[in-house]
């Protein structure tokens, strides 16, 4: 019997493979961005109450009204995006659900999309499902600057959209206002959409602000902004995220979302609405904790001999072990990942997972520092002892 061509081509990605491998040796997983800290109590209580009150039926496909209203306030005040109201918001099964519906609402098979490398693998995987061609524009370590001339020359008559991720996974780049302004000018010149993934928007370091592309007046009408509760509230498994953008696009994305999976889990949406943290202290504490963990992780890797471009945002360190390449077990990223699992029981992700050409990631590993304090400390101690 034959599977679809699309299914035949699918393989388990390296990140999940590392999780399986590290679990088998009972090690510490700094690979997958699982983020296993507790979710806020108020949200958990809200969800329990919603389940007890039988808020168990399908939600409207766009999401439940109280949550959408909270998001409107948040998007206006935190992101500076001038939304009119709840019709500009779509609640989805994680930001991944939002990305899928954006791709299907904006793009046809054969269209081209530009992404920046290193990239987050799901974007490319989902674009492939829609038969959209991808062009990549490299960002180079250690500053991960964008070459705008190169970007513009990658645009062809088939290009329909540019995808950005800020803060970036894996490299932590945070797009500056100047860069976003240059991007907005290019979008306008070539009449393109932007899909911007901002799931790490609350995690920016050294006083760097998070700026949403859609807060620029010239870009708002052509931009879909994706975000998520997964990372902000430590609830990756709840599968709640959202998209915001022009009403005429959000409406179609909602209809697609309805066809794909009807709605995001309704009791969890009510729970989130009840416990939605608007309190600045929550975000400040979270950022302080991550900043401390970032320092610990970067210093441990530096002690072990890695070259470490400290991330500007998100909760990953994308570090180079090129200085160690002559040591046994460090000749390429896959081997180095395996060496770390075998020798010190620490999981990471091979750099090739974030590039089209595996050679570009051959001396890189990604480490996630969104871990409980004691686990991260133990992992860092082990890495320092390499």
Ligand X SMILES: Cc1ncc(COP(=O)(O)O)c(C=O)c1O
Taking CB under 6 A as the binding criterion, the range among 93-101, 184-192, 247-255, 270-278 that sits at the site for ligand X is 93-101
Stretch that binds ligand X, among 90-98, 153-161, 245-253, 350-358 (CB under 6 A): 90-98
Q: Which residues contact 271 (CB under 8 A, 6 or more apart)?
A: 43, 44, 45, 46, 47, 48, 49, 50
CB nearer to ligand X: give 49 or 256. 256
Q: How far apart (Å, rounded) are the C-alpha atoms in residues 119 and 13?
A: 14
Among the listed residues 115, 215, 225, 230, the single contact to ligand X using CB under 6 A: 230
- Which window, 94-102, 205-213, 260-268, 282-290, contacts ligand X (CB under 6 A)? 94-102
Residue 14's Cβ-count burial label (10 Å; 0-12, 13-18, 19+) is: buried
Q: 363 — phi, psi (to 5°)?
A: -115, 20
The answer to the question of residue 212 lying near ligand X (CB under 6 A) is no
Residue 127 binding ligand X, by CB under 6 A: no
**Smaller CB separation from ligand X, 159 or 236:** 236
The count of chain residues that interact with ligand X, using the rule CB under 6 A, is 13
Q: Judging by DSSP bridges, how do beta strands 223-228 and 241-244 pair with one another?
A: antiparallel
**Which stretch, 88-96, 288-296, 297-305, 338-346, contacts ligand X (CB under 6 A)?**
88-96
Nearest approach, Cβ of 205 to ligand X (angstroms)? 17
Distance CA 94, CA 241 (A): 4
Nearer to ligand X (CB atom), residue 29 or residue 96: 96
What's the CA angle centered on 289, arms 285 and 295, to 5 degrees? 145
How many CB atoms sit inside 10 A of residue 329's CB? 14
The residue from 40, 46, 63, 94 that contacts ligand X (CB under 6 A) is: 94
What would the two tokens of residue 247 be? 């009403």
In this complex, which beta carbon is closest to ligand X, that of residue 61 or of residue 354? 354
228 lies in the binding site for ligand X (CB under 6 A): yes
Q: Are 336 and 343 in contact (CB under 8 A)?
A: no
In the set 29, 79, 88, 95, which binds ligand X (CB under 6 A)?
Answer: 95
Task: Give the nearest distance from C-beta 231 to ligand X in angstroms.
Answer: 7
188 to 207, contacts with ligand X by CB under 6 A?
A: 197, 199
Q: CB 259 → ligand X: shortest distance, Å?
A: 19
Burial class (CB in 10 A: 0-12, 13-18, 19+), 183: buried
Radius of gyration of the chain, Cα coordinates, nearest whole angstrom = 21
* Cβ 39 to ligand X shortest distance, Å: 13
Q: Which of 61, 104, 116, 120 binds ligand X (CB under 6 A)?
A: 120
> Which residues in 100-201 belong to E strands, given as ranges?
112-117, 133-140, 145-146, 159-165, 193-197
**165 or 266: CB nearest ligand X:** 165
Q: Is 271 in the site for ligand X (CB under 6 A)?
A: no
For the segment 18-77, give every residue that binds ligand X (CB under 6 A).
Answer: 33
The burial of 49, by beta-carbon neighbours within 10 Å (0-12 exposed, 13-18 middle, 19 or more buried), is given as middle
Q: Rule CB under 6 A: is residue 339 a binding residue for ligand X?
A: no
CB of 236 to ligand X, least distance (A): 5
- Separation in Å, CA 232 to CA 79, 99, 293: 14, 18, 16
Q: Measuring CA to CA, how many Å separate 2 from each of 11, 58, 130, 326?
A: 16, 35, 21, 45
Q: Which is nearer to ligand X, 96 or 225 (CB)?
A: 96
Per-residue mark of binding to ligand X, 161-190 (x: CB under 6 A): ----x---x---------------------
Cα–Cα separations (whole angstroms), residue 6 to 3, 110, 161, 352: 8, 15, 23, 22
> Shortest distance, CB of residue 63 to ligand X, whole angstroms?
14
Report the interface residues with ligand X, using CB under 6 A.
33, 94-96, 120, 165, 169, 197, 199, 228, 230, 236, 241
């Amino acid at each position: 019997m034959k599977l679809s061509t699309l299914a035949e081509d699918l393989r388990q990605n390296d990140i999940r493979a590392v999780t399986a491998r590290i679990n088998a040796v009972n090690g510490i997983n700094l690979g997958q961005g699982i983020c296993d800290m507790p979710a806020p109590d108020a949200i958990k209580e809200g969800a329990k109450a919603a389940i007890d009150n039988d808020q168990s039926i399908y939600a409207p496909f766009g999401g439940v009204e109280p949550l959408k209203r909270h998001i409107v306030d948040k998007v206006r005040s935190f992101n500076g995006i001038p939304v009119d109201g709840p019709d500009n918001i779509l609640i989805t099964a994680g930001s991944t659900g939002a990305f899928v519906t954006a791709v299907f609402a904006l793009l046809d098979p054969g269209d081209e999309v530009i992404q920046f490398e290193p990239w987050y693998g799901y974007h490319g995987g989902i674009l492939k499902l829609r038969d959209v061609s991808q062009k990549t524009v490299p960002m180079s370590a250690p500053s991960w600057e964008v070459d705008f001339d190169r970007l513009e020359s990658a645009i062809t008559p088939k290009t329909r959209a540019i995808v950005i991720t800020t803060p970036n996974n894996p490299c932590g780049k945070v797009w500056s206002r100047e860069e976003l302004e240059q991007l907005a000018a290019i979008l306008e010149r070539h009449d393109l959409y932007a899909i911007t993934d901002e799931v790490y928007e609350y995690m920016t370091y050294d006083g760097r602000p998070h700026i949403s592309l859609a807060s620029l007046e010239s870009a708002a009408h052509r931009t879909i902004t994706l975000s998520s509760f997964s990372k902000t509230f430590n609830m990756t498994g709840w599968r709640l995220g959202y998209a915001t953008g022009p009403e005429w696009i959000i409406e179609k994305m909602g209809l697609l979302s309805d066809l794909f999976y009807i709605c995001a889990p309704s009791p969890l949406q009510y729970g989130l609405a009840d416990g939605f943290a608007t309190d600045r202290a929550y975000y400040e504490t979270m950022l302080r904790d991550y900043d401390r963990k970032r320092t610990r992780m970067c210093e441990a890797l530096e002690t072990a001999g890695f070259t470490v471009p400290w991330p500007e945002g998100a909760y990953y360190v994308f570090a180079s072990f090129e200085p160690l390449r002559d040591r046994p077990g460090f000749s390429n990223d896959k081997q180095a990942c395996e060496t770390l699992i075998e020798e010190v029981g620490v999981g990471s992700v091979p750099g090739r997972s974030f590039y089209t050409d595996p050679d570009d990631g051959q001396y890189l590993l990604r480490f996630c520092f969104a871990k409980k304090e004691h686990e991260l400390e133990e992992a860092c101690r082990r890495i320092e002892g390499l």
